[in-house]
Protein backbone atom coordinates (compact mmCIF):
# COMPACT_ATOMS: atom_id res chain seq x y z
CA UNK A 1 0.00 0.00 0.00
CA UNK A 2 1.26 3.45 -0.89
CA UNK A 3 1.14 5.99 1.91
CA UNK A 4 1.61 9.72 1.97
CA UNK A 5 2.85 11.74 4.90
CA UNK A 6 2.18 15.43 5.38
CA UNK A 7 4.80 16.97 7.67
CA UNK A 8 3.79 20.16 9.47
CA UNK A 9 6.96 21.90 10.71
CA UNK A 10 6.35 23.72 14.00
CA UNK A 11 2.61 23.30 13.56
CA UNK A 12 1.58 24.66 17.00
CA UNK A 13 3.44 27.92 16.33
CA UNK A 14 2.00 28.07 12.80
CA UNK A 15 -1.50 27.74 14.20
CA UNK A 16 -1.05 30.46 16.80
CA UNK A 17 0.35 32.94 14.29
CA UNK A 18 -2.43 32.11 11.84
CA UNK A 19 -5.11 32.69 14.46
CA UNK A 20 -3.41 35.80 15.90
CA UNK A 21 -1.52 37.70 13.17
CA UNK A 22 -0.15 40.18 15.70
CA UNK A 23 2.19 37.40 16.87
CA UNK A 24 3.97 37.22 13.50
CA UNK A 25 7.70 37.87 13.88
CA UNK A 26 7.59 37.88 17.69
CA UNK A 27 9.78 35.70 19.88
CA UNK A 28 7.41 33.32 21.62
CA UNK A 29 7.37 29.86 23.14
CA UNK A 30 4.60 27.40 23.90
CA UNK A 31 5.10 25.93 27.35
CA UNK A 32 3.53 23.16 29.40
CA UNK A 33 3.72 22.87 33.17
CA UNK A 34 4.99 19.66 34.76
CA UNK A 35 5.50 19.23 38.52
CA UNK A 36 5.39 22.96 39.07
CA UNK A 37 7.97 23.77 36.37
CA UNK A 38 7.11 25.21 32.97
CA UNK A 39 8.98 23.63 30.06
CA UNK A 40 9.33 24.90 26.50
CA UNK A 41 7.60 22.58 24.03
CA UNK A 42 7.76 24.69 20.85
CA UNK A 43 9.48 27.93 19.87
CA UNK A 44 9.03 30.46 17.07
CA UNK A 45 11.73 31.32 14.56
CA UNK A 46 12.74 34.46 16.46
CA UNK A 47 13.07 32.45 19.67
CA UNK A 48 15.14 29.75 17.96
CA UNK A 49 17.45 32.45 16.61
CA UNK A 50 18.07 33.49 20.22
CA UNK A 51 19.29 29.95 21.08
CA UNK A 52 16.05 28.96 22.79
CA UNK A 53 15.27 25.28 22.29
CA UNK A 54 12.45 22.91 23.24
CA UNK A 55 13.24 21.14 26.50
CA UNK A 56 14.45 24.27 28.27
CA UNK A 57 12.69 25.68 31.28
CA UNK A 58 10.79 28.89 30.69
CA UNK A 59 12.94 30.61 33.33
CA UNK A 60 16.14 29.74 31.47
CA UNK A 61 14.66 30.77 28.12
CA UNK A 62 13.48 34.10 29.54
CA UNK A 63 16.96 34.79 30.91
CA UNK A 64 18.38 34.38 27.42
CA UNK A 65 15.78 36.63 25.82
CA UNK A 66 14.09 39.23 28.05
CA UNK A 67 10.57 40.01 26.89
CA UNK A 68 10.00 36.47 25.61
CA UNK A 69 6.27 35.81 25.18
CA UNK A 70 5.10 32.58 26.81
CA UNK A 71 1.79 30.99 25.78
CA UNK A 72 0.18 27.79 27.08
CA UNK A 73 0.58 24.58 25.08
CA UNK A 74 -2.28 22.09 24.89
CA UNK A 75 -1.66 18.75 23.10
CA UNK A 76 -5.42 18.17 22.87
CA UNK A 77 -5.95 21.46 21.03
CA UNK A 78 -3.14 20.67 18.59
CA UNK A 79 -4.54 17.19 17.92
CA UNK A 80 -7.95 18.73 17.25
CA UNK A 81 -6.42 21.20 14.79
CA UNK A 82 -4.56 18.43 12.93
CA UNK A 83 -7.79 16.40 12.86
CA UNK A 84 -9.60 19.34 11.25
CA UNK A 85 -6.86 19.54 8.63
CA UNK A 86 -7.14 15.82 7.92
CA UNK A 87 -10.90 16.08 7.41
CA UNK A 88 -10.39 18.99 5.03
CA UNK A 89 -8.05 16.78 2.95
CA UNK A 90 -10.63 14.01 2.55
CA UNK A 91 -11.35 15.36 -0.93
CA UNK A 92 -7.82 14.21 -1.89
CA UNK A 93 -7.29 11.17 0.35
CA UNK A 94 -9.99 8.68 1.41
CA UNK A 95 -8.43 8.26 4.87
CA UNK A 96 -5.86 9.71 7.25
CA UNK A 97 -4.08 8.81 10.48
CA UNK A 98 -2.93 11.45 12.95
CA UNK A 99 0.64 11.94 14.07
CA UNK A 100 -0.10 15.15 15.98
CA UNK A 101 1.36 17.66 16.11
CA UNK A 102 4.08 16.63 13.65
CA UNK A 103 1.74 15.73 10.79
CA UNK A 104 -0.49 12.94 9.50
CA UNK A 105 -0.39 9.93 7.20
CA UNK A 106 -2.64 9.91 4.13
CA UNK A 107 -4.01 7.09 2.01
CA UNK A 108 -2.35 7.64 -1.39
CA UNK A 109 -4.60 5.23 -3.29
CA UNK A 110 -6.36 8.17 -4.98
CA UNK A 111 -3.15 9.59 -6.46
CA UNK A 112 -4.05 8.28 -9.92
CA UNK A 113 -7.01 10.67 -10.01
CA UNK A 114 -4.54 13.57 -9.93
CA UNK A 115 -2.29 12.18 -12.65
CA UNK A 116 0.25 10.44 -10.42
CA UNK A 117 1.84 10.59 -7.02
CA UNK A 118 3.87 13.76 -7.52
CA UNK A 119 0.89 15.84 -8.78
CA UNK A 120 -1.12 14.39 -5.91
CA UNK A 121 1.52 15.52 -3.41
CA UNK A 122 1.49 18.97 -4.98
CA UNK A 123 -2.30 19.13 -4.61
CA UNK A 124 -2.03 18.12 -0.94
CA UNK A 125 0.55 20.82 -0.19
CA UNK A 126 -1.48 23.44 -2.07
CA UNK A 127 -4.67 22.49 -0.21
CA UNK A 128 -2.74 22.76 3.04
CA UNK A 129 -1.43 26.20 2.07
CA UNK A 130 -4.96 27.35 1.18
CA UNK A 131 -5.91 26.63 4.80
CA UNK A 132 -3.00 28.70 6.09
CA UNK A 133 -0.67 25.80 6.90
CA UNK A 134 2.84 25.15 5.59
CA UNK A 135 3.57 21.51 4.89
CA UNK A 136 5.93 19.08 3.19
CA UNK A 137 4.74 15.79 1.73
CA UNK A 138 6.18 12.48 0.58
CA UNK A 139 4.90 9.12 -0.67
CA UNK A 140 6.41 5.72 0.12
CA UNK A 141 5.38 2.14 0.78
CA UNK A 142 6.19 2.25 4.51
CA UNK A 143 5.03 4.60 7.26
CA UNK A 144 8.51 5.34 8.59
CA UNK A 145 10.02 5.94 5.16
CA UNK A 146 7.27 8.38 4.18
CA UNK A 147 7.59 10.17 7.53
CA UNK A 148 11.36 10.67 7.19
CA UNK A 149 11.18 11.66 3.51
CA UNK A 150 8.53 14.31 4.16
CA UNK A 151 10.60 15.88 6.92
CA UNK A 152 13.60 16.58 4.69
CA UNK A 153 12.07 17.53 1.34
CA UNK A 154 9.11 19.60 0.14
CA UNK A 155 7.97 16.88 -2.29
CA UNK A 156 9.49 13.41 -2.54
CA UNK A 157 8.32 10.15 -4.08
CA UNK A 158 10.06 6.99 -2.85
CA UNK A 159 9.66 4.16 -5.35
CA UNK A 160 8.37 0.79 -4.10
CA UNK A 161 11.29 -1.17 -2.65
CA UNK A 162 13.46 1.94 -2.42
CA UNK A 163 13.02 2.55 1.29
CA UNK A 164 16.51 1.37 2.33
CA UNK A 165 18.23 3.59 -0.23
CA UNK A 166 16.08 6.59 0.72
CA UNK A 167 16.95 6.17 4.41
CA UNK A 168 20.65 5.37 4.01
CA UNK A 169 22.01 8.84 4.91
CA UNK A 170 19.39 9.70 7.53
CA UNK A 171 20.73 10.33 11.07
CA UNK A 172 19.94 7.73 13.72
CA UNK A 173 17.87 10.28 15.68
CA UNK A 174 15.07 9.83 13.13
CA UNK A 175 14.25 6.49 14.79
CA UNK A 176 12.71 8.36 17.72
CA UNK A 177 9.94 9.65 15.41
CA UNK A 178 8.24 6.26 15.55
CA UNK A 179 7.90 6.13 19.33
CA UNK A 180 9.16 2.53 19.21
CA UNK A 181 12.85 3.43 19.67
CA UNK A 182 13.64 5.91 22.45
CA UNK A 183 16.57 8.29 22.87
CA UNK A 184 18.41 5.91 25.23
CA UNK A 185 18.43 3.14 22.62
CA UNK A 186 19.57 5.59 19.94
CA UNK A 187 22.42 6.63 22.23
CA UNK A 188 23.41 3.00 22.70
CA UNK A 189 23.61 2.55 18.93
CA UNK A 190 25.71 5.69 18.64
CA UNK A 191 28.14 4.25 21.18
CA UNK A 192 29.16 1.75 18.50
CA UNK A 193 30.17 4.61 16.23
CA UNK A 194 27.02 4.43 14.09
CA UNK A 195 25.76 7.72 12.68
CA UNK A 196 23.25 6.90 9.92
CA UNK A 197 20.48 4.41 9.28
CA UNK A 198 22.46 2.98 6.37
CA UNK A 199 25.28 1.99 8.71
CA UNK A 200 22.80 0.33 11.05
CA UNK A 201 21.12 -1.53 8.18
CA UNK A 202 24.50 -2.97 7.11
CA UNK A 203 25.05 -4.75 10.46
CA UNK A 204 24.22 -8.47 10.72
CA UNK A 205 20.78 -9.01 12.20
CA UNK A 206 22.00 -11.70 14.58
CA UNK A 207 24.68 -9.47 16.10
CA UNK A 208 22.20 -6.61 16.58
CA UNK A 209 19.67 -8.94 18.24
CA UNK A 210 22.28 -10.44 20.56
CA UNK A 211 23.54 -7.04 21.73
CA UNK A 212 20.39 -4.88 21.81
CA UNK A 213 17.52 -7.34 21.90
CA UNK A 214 14.08 -6.68 20.39
CA UNK A 215 14.57 -2.90 20.34
CA UNK A 216 17.73 -3.27 18.26
CA UNK A 217 16.02 -5.64 15.83
CA UNK A 218 13.15 -3.18 15.41
CA UNK A 219 15.57 -0.31 14.77
CA UNK A 220 17.50 -2.35 12.17
CA UNK A 221 14.29 -3.30 10.36
CA UNK A 222 13.20 0.31 10.18
CA UNK A 223 16.63 1.27 8.83
CA UNK A 224 16.20 -1.29 6.03
CA UNK A 225 12.85 0.18 5.04
CA UNK A 226 10.87 -2.66 6.58
CA UNK A 227 8.02 -1.28 8.68
CA UNK A 228 5.36 -3.82 9.64
CA UNK A 229 3.04 -1.31 11.29
CA UNK A 230 0.15 -0.82 8.90
CA UNK A 231 -2.04 2.14 8.10
CA UNK A 232 -5.20 2.39 10.22
CA UNK A 233 -7.45 5.32 9.25
CA UNK A 234 -8.78 7.35 12.15
CA UNK A 235 -12.53 7.32 12.67
CA UNK A 236 -14.27 10.63 12.09
CA UNK A 237 -16.04 12.23 15.06
CA UNK A 238 -19.81 12.00 14.90
CA UNK A 239 -20.23 15.68 15.76
CA UNK A 240 -18.31 18.48 14.07
CA UNK A 241 -17.28 20.78 16.90
CA UNK A 242 -14.69 23.58 16.81
CA UNK A 243 -13.48 25.79 19.65
CA UNK A 244 -11.02 28.63 20.10
CA UNK A 245 -9.64 30.08 23.34
CA UNK A 246 -8.29 33.62 23.34
CA UNK A 247 -4.94 34.28 24.97
CA UNK A 248 -6.31 37.64 26.13
CA UNK A 249 -9.96 38.47 26.90
CA UNK A 250 -11.62 40.35 24.02
CA UNK A 251 -13.48 43.50 25.00
CA UNK A 252 -14.30 44.66 21.46
CA UNK A 253 -16.10 43.07 18.55
CA UNK A 254 -13.16 43.04 16.12
CA UNK A 255 -11.03 40.31 17.80
CA UNK A 256 -14.17 38.23 18.35
CA UNK A 257 -15.03 38.43 14.65
CA UNK A 258 -11.48 37.49 13.67
CA UNK A 259 -11.58 34.47 15.97
CA UNK A 260 -15.02 33.58 14.65
CA UNK A 261 -13.67 33.58 11.09
CA UNK A 262 -10.94 31.14 12.12
CA UNK A 263 -13.45 28.77 13.72
CA UNK A 264 -15.92 29.03 10.82
CA UNK A 265 -13.21 28.39 8.21
CA UNK A 266 -12.09 25.24 10.01
CA UNK A 267 -15.65 24.00 10.41
CA UNK A 268 -16.51 24.73 6.76
CA UNK A 269 -13.40 22.90 5.51
CA UNK A 270 -14.38 19.86 7.58
CA UNK A 271 -17.90 19.92 6.16
CA UNK A 272 -16.57 20.17 2.60
CA UNK A 273 -14.13 17.33 3.21
CA UNK A 274 -16.98 15.11 4.38
CA UNK A 275 -19.23 16.19 1.52
CA UNK A 276 -21.82 17.57 3.94
CA UNK A 277 -23.69 20.84 4.42
CA UNK A 278 -24.84 22.37 7.69
CA UNK A 279 -28.56 22.75 8.43
CA UNK A 280 -28.47 23.83 12.07
CA UNK A 281 -25.56 25.18 14.09
CA UNK A 282 -25.01 26.52 17.59
CA UNK A 283 -22.36 29.06 18.55
CA UNK A 284 -21.27 29.92 22.08
CA UNK A 285 -19.38 32.91 23.46
CA UNK A 286 -17.36 31.96 26.54
CA UNK A 287 -17.28 34.88 28.97
CA UNK A 288 -14.87 35.86 31.72
CA UNK A 289 -15.48 35.76 35.48
CA UNK A 290 -17.34 32.48 35.50
CA UNK A 291 -20.32 33.83 33.57
CA UNK A 292 -22.21 31.18 31.65
CA UNK A 293 -21.65 31.03 27.88
CA UNK A 294 -23.94 32.97 25.56
CA UNK A 295 -25.71 30.62 23.15
CA UNK A 296 -26.47 31.66 19.57
CA UNK A 297 -28.57 29.11 17.62
CA UNK A 298 -28.52 29.35 13.84
CA UNK A 299 -30.78 27.60 11.33
CA UNK A 300 -30.08 27.91 7.63
CA UNK A 301 -32.89 28.21 5.10
CA UNK A 302 -30.79 26.15 2.69
CA UNK A 303 -28.05 23.71 3.76
CA UNK A 304 -24.62 25.18 3.12
CA UNK A 305 -20.93 24.43 3.68
CA UNK A 306 -19.71 27.84 2.52
CA UNK A 307 -17.71 29.56 5.22
CA UNK A 308 -18.48 33.01 3.84
CA UNK A 309 -22.23 32.52 4.24
CA UNK A 310 -21.95 31.01 7.72
CA UNK A 311 -19.70 33.85 8.85
CA UNK A 312 -22.10 36.48 7.50
CA UNK A 313 -25.03 34.96 9.38
CA UNK A 314 -23.13 34.68 12.66
CA UNK A 315 -21.75 38.20 12.27
CA UNK A 316 -25.32 39.48 11.90
CA UNK A 317 -26.29 37.86 15.20
CA UNK A 318 -23.24 39.22 17.01
CA UNK A 319 -23.96 42.74 15.79
CA UNK A 320 -27.11 42.95 17.94
CA UNK A 321 -25.66 41.17 20.97
CA UNK A 322 -24.66 42.89 24.22
CA UNK A 323 -22.52 41.03 26.77
CA UNK A 324 -21.49 42.20 30.23
CA UNK A 325 -18.09 40.48 30.42
CA UNK A 326 -15.08 40.13 28.09
CA UNK A 327 -15.11 37.16 25.72
CA UNK A 328 -12.45 34.53 26.43
CA UNK A 329 -13.35 31.92 23.81
CA UNK A 330 -15.62 30.70 21.03
CA UNK A 331 -17.26 27.40 20.22
CA UNK A 332 -19.19 26.30 17.13
CA UNK A 333 -21.02 23.00 16.68
CA UNK A 334 -22.98 21.47 13.80
CA UNK A 335 -26.24 20.16 15.25
CA UNK A 336 -27.69 18.89 11.97
CA UNK A 337 -26.10 18.24 8.59
CA UNK A 338 -27.06 16.62 5.31
CA UNK A 339 -25.35 15.54 2.12
CA UNK A 340 -24.03 18.49 0.14
CA UNK A 341 -25.44 17.94 -3.33
CA UNK A 342 -23.01 19.24 -5.92
CA UNK A 343 -24.25 22.32 -7.71
CA UNK A 344 -24.12 22.62 -11.46
CA UNK A 345 -20.83 24.08 -12.60
CA UNK A 346 -21.00 27.50 -14.26
CA UNK A 347 -18.79 29.10 -16.86
CA UNK A 348 -19.31 32.49 -15.22
CA UNK A 349 -19.60 33.55 -11.60
CA UNK A 350 -22.75 32.71 -9.69
CA UNK A 351 -25.19 35.62 -9.50
CA UNK A 352 -24.80 37.73 -6.38
CA UNK A 353 -28.55 37.81 -5.89
CA UNK A 354 -28.65 34.11 -5.05
CA UNK A 355 -26.13 34.48 -2.21
CA UNK A 356 -27.93 37.58 -0.93
CA UNK A 357 -31.25 35.70 -0.95
CA UNK A 358 -29.74 32.90 1.10
CA UNK A 359 -28.50 35.41 3.67
CA UNK A 360 -31.93 37.05 3.95
CA UNK A 361 -33.77 33.73 4.24
CA UNK A 362 -31.36 32.38 6.84
CA UNK A 363 -31.60 35.59 8.85
CA UNK A 364 -35.39 35.38 8.88
CA UNK A 365 -35.29 31.70 9.82
CA UNK A 366 -32.86 32.34 12.68
CA UNK A 367 -34.67 35.42 14.00
CA UNK A 368 -38.31 34.28 13.67
CA UNK A 369 -37.96 30.52 13.57
CA UNK A 370 -38.28 28.09 10.65
CA UNK A 371 -42.09 28.08 10.93
CA UNK A 372 -42.17 31.76 9.94
CA UNK A 373 -41.10 30.98 6.37
CA UNK A 374 -44.08 29.60 4.44
CA UNK A 375 -44.76 28.86 0.79
CA UNK A 376 -48.03 28.42 -1.11
CA UNK A 377 -48.85 25.08 -2.73
CA UNK A 378 -51.66 24.94 -5.33
CA UNK A 379 -54.66 22.73 -4.61
CA UNK A 380 -57.30 21.30 -6.94
CA UNK A 381 -60.15 23.47 -5.61
CA UNK A 382 -62.55 25.83 -7.37
CA UNK A 383 -62.85 28.22 -4.45
CA UNK A 384 -60.19 30.90 -4.37
CA UNK A 385 -59.65 30.63 -0.61
CA UNK A 386 -59.07 26.88 -0.89
CA UNK A 387 -56.97 26.81 -4.04
CA UNK A 388 -53.75 26.79 -2.05
CA UNK A 389 -52.30 25.67 1.27
CA UNK A 390 -49.28 26.82 3.24
CA UNK A 391 -46.28 24.57 3.70
CA UNK A 392 -42.76 25.11 5.10
CA UNK A 393 -40.66 27.07 2.64
CA UNK A 394 -37.89 25.09 1.02
CA UNK A 395 -36.00 26.89 -1.76
CA UNK A 396 -35.44 24.83 -4.91
CA UNK A 397 -31.98 23.60 -5.68
CA UNK A 398 -30.12 25.84 -8.10
CA UNK A 399 -30.39 24.57 -11.65
CA UNK A 400 -33.34 22.28 -10.90
CA UNK A 401 -36.97 22.92 -11.78
CA UNK A 402 -39.49 22.04 -9.06
CA UNK A 403 -41.16 18.70 -9.71
CA UNK A 404 -44.97 18.58 -9.97
CA UNK A 405 -46.70 15.68 -8.32
CA UNK A 406 -48.58 13.46 -10.75
CA UNK A 407 -47.39 15.32 -13.83
CA UNK A 408 -46.47 13.39 -16.93
CA UNK A 409 -42.80 13.50 -17.89
CA UNK A 410 -42.07 16.19 -20.45
CA UNK A 411 -39.84 15.24 -23.36
CA UNK A 412 -37.56 18.14 -24.09
CA UNK A 413 -35.72 16.56 -27.01
CA UNK A 414 -35.58 18.74 -30.13
CA UNK A 415 -37.97 17.39 -32.82
CA UNK A 416 -36.36 16.16 -36.01
CA UNK A 417 -39.13 17.71 -38.18
CA UNK A 418 -41.56 20.53 -37.50
CA UNK A 419 -43.86 20.04 -40.51
CA UNK A 420 -45.31 16.94 -42.05
CA UNK A 421 -43.26 15.55 -44.89
CA UNK A 422 -44.67 16.49 -48.35
Average pLDDT of the residues in 38-59: 95
Note whether residue 103 is domain-resident.
yes
Cis status, amide bond into 101, omega within 30 of 0: yes
Q: How confident is the model at residue 36 (pLDDT cuts 50, 70, 90)?
A: very high
143-172 pLDDT tens trace:
999 999 999 988 999 999 999 999 999 999
Q: How confident is the model at residue 347 (pLDDT cuts 50, 70, 90)?
A: very low
Gap between the Cα atoms of 215 and 184, Å rounded = 11
32 half-sphere exposure, CB direction, 13 A CA radius: 12
- Single out the residue of 232, 338, 273 nearest to residue 86, CA to CA: 273
In a shared domain, residues 60 and 127? yes
302-346 pLDDT tens trace:
888 999 889 988 988 887 788 889 999 999 999 999 988 755 444
In a shared domain, residues 24 and 150? yes
358-377 pLDDT tens trace:
677 777 776 776 677 788 88
Asked if residue 1 lies in contact with residue 143, where contact means CB atoms within 8 angstroms, the answer is no
pLDDT at 37 over 70: yes
Gap between the Cα atoms of 133 and 88, Å rounded = 12
Gap between the Cα atoms of 377 and 402, Å rounded = 12
Note whether residue 189 is domain-resident.
yes
Cis status, amide bond into 420, omega within 30 of 0: no
Q: For the chain, what percent of residues have pLDDT higher than 70?
A: 88
pLDDT at 415 over 80: no
Domains identified in the chain, total number = 3
In a shared domain, residues 23 and 132? yes
Average pLDDT of the residues in 58-66: 95
Can you give the residue range of the structural domain that contains 179?
A: 163-223
In a shared domain, residues 196 and 173? yes
pLDDT at 348 over 60: no
- Indicate the pTM of the whole model: 0.81
Note whether residue 261 is domain-resident.
yes
Amino acid sequence: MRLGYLALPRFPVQRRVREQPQLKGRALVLAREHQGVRWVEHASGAALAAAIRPGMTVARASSRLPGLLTLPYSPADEAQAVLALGEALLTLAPGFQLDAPRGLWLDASAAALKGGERPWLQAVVEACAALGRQGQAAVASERFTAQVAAGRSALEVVAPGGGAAALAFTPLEALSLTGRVDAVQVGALRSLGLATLGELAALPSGAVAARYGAAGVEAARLARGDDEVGFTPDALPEVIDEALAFDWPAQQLEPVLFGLKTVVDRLASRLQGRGQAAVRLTAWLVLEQGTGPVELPLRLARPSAQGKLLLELLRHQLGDLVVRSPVTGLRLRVDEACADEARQLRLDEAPAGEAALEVVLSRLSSALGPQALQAAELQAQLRADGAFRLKPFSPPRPGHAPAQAGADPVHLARPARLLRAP
